[in-house]
Amino acid sequence: MGFLSILRKARRKEQELRFLLIGLDNAGKTTVLRRLLGASEEEVRAAAPTLGLQVRTWVHPRGYRINLWDVGGQRSIRAYWKNYFEETDAVIWVVDAADEGRLGSEAGTELAAVLAEGRLRGVTLLVLANKGDVPGCMQLGEVAVALGMATRWRQVSEADGEALEAVHGPAGADRIETQRVAPSGHGNRHWRIYRCSAYTGQGVSEAFAWAVHDVATRLYSFDSQRWREGCTDTPREAVGAAALE
């Protein structure tokens, strides 16, 4: 067993996850992160452009330690994103839903380039359509189309949020479903787009809760009843992990 895979298995056993927050500059990544981690109102609104990266740990109520890597999105920094792809369990792609111009061009192109990366094959993708508090911001379906992800989606209801999720059903079910914009590279990927506002907090925790659940479902074996009851999960790679002891 290689050194990297030993590390990987140890990390799984510790229930440690890694989420990578990326997206264009000014999308609101740092602000979202501060909101998620319960910063004061003043701190939430005082984020300045991230010139490098920052890593914060979020301890999920179920015991997962989630390392959130917030990397700056300015053009000159984007070349460094790839340094953080290894071991990533979820990509949190944040977009400014009030900036239709950049969303339709730059954000879609950058996202496609990131997802073409082999090291990110199969990782959970959570797109946050942030700044939902801004009047006239884009709707979720418009964001999905602008990012070139799909025109086939279904609305899923969340307790307090709104989300879109790709539908992998037989083509031709009805007219709308056959209007499929090839979601290339998304074949086996779980993804959802949530509307959120880092300012008001709307949708932020629901979106991250989905991402954690999705990653945990892939990596750990548990049943949903146990999830609701807060029981500890068993790593899917328990056999390999046990061999290390």
Ligand X SMILES: Nc1nc2c(ncn2[C@@H]2O[C@H](COP(=O)(O)OP(=O)(O)OP(=O)(O)O)[C@@H](O)[C@H]2O)c(=O)[nH]1
Catalytic residues: 74
Site for ligand X in 137-166 (CB under 6 A): none
Contact 161, 205 (CB under 8 A): no
Total residues interacting with Mg ion, rule: CB under 5 A: 3
Q: Which of 45, 75, 121, 168 binds ligand X (CB under 6 A)?
A: 45
Total residues interacting with ligand X, rule: CB under 6 A: 22
88 binds, among Mg ion, ligand X, none (CB under 5 to 8 A by kind): none
Q: Which tokens go with 59?
A: 């301890």
Which DSSP helix (H) or strand (E) runs through 112?
helix 108-115
CB of 36 to Mg ion, least distance (A): 13
Helix (H, G, I), strand (E, B) or coil at 239: helix
Helix (H, G, I), strand (E, B) or coil at 6: helix
Contact 17, 89 (CB under 8 A): yes
CB atoms within 10 A of CB 238: 14
Distance, in Å, from the CA atom of 143 to the CA atom of 146, rounded to the nearest integer, reads 5
Total residue count of the chain as it appears in this document: 245
Distance, in Å, from the CA atom of 175 to the CA atom of 171, rounded to the nearest integer, reads 9
Q: What binding mask, one character per residue, do residues 103-132 give for ligand X by CB under 6 A, x or -?
A: ---------------------------xx-
Is 240 labelled a binding residue?
no
131 binds, among Mg ion, ligand X, none (CB under 5 to 8 A by kind): ligand X
Binding piece for ligand X, criterion CB under 6 A, among 6-14, 72-80, 213-221, 232-240: 72-80
Is 233 labelled a binding residue?
no
Contact 198, 216 (CB under 8 A): no
Q: Does 183 bind ligand X (CB under 6 A)?
A: no
Distance, in Å, from the CA atom of 26 to the CA atom of 48, rounded to the nearest integer, reads 9
Which DSSP helix (H) or strand (E) runs through 38?
none
Residue with Cβ nearer ligand X (95 or 241): 95
Q: Which of 9, 12, 28, 30 binds Mg ion (CB under 5 A)?
A: 30
Q: Which tokens go with 133?
A: 């508090």
Chain center to CA of 187 = 17
Q: What binding mask, one character per residue, do residues 31-60 give for Mg ion by CB under 5 A, x or -?
A: -------------------x----------
Q: Which of 29, 62, 78, 152 binds ligand X (CB under 6 A)?
A: 29
Residue with Cβ nearer Mg ion (27 or 140): 27
Instruction: Supply the DSSP string of 116-130, one letter for each residue.
Output: T-GGGTT-EEEEEEE
Residue with Cβ nearer Mg ion (30 or 202): 30
Given the rule CB under 5 A, which residues bind Mg ion?
A: 29-30, 50
Binding residues for GTP: 23-30, 73, 130-133
Given the rule CB under 6 A, which residues bind ligand X?
A: 25-31, 45, 47, 49-50, 72-74, 94, 130-131, 133-134, 197-199
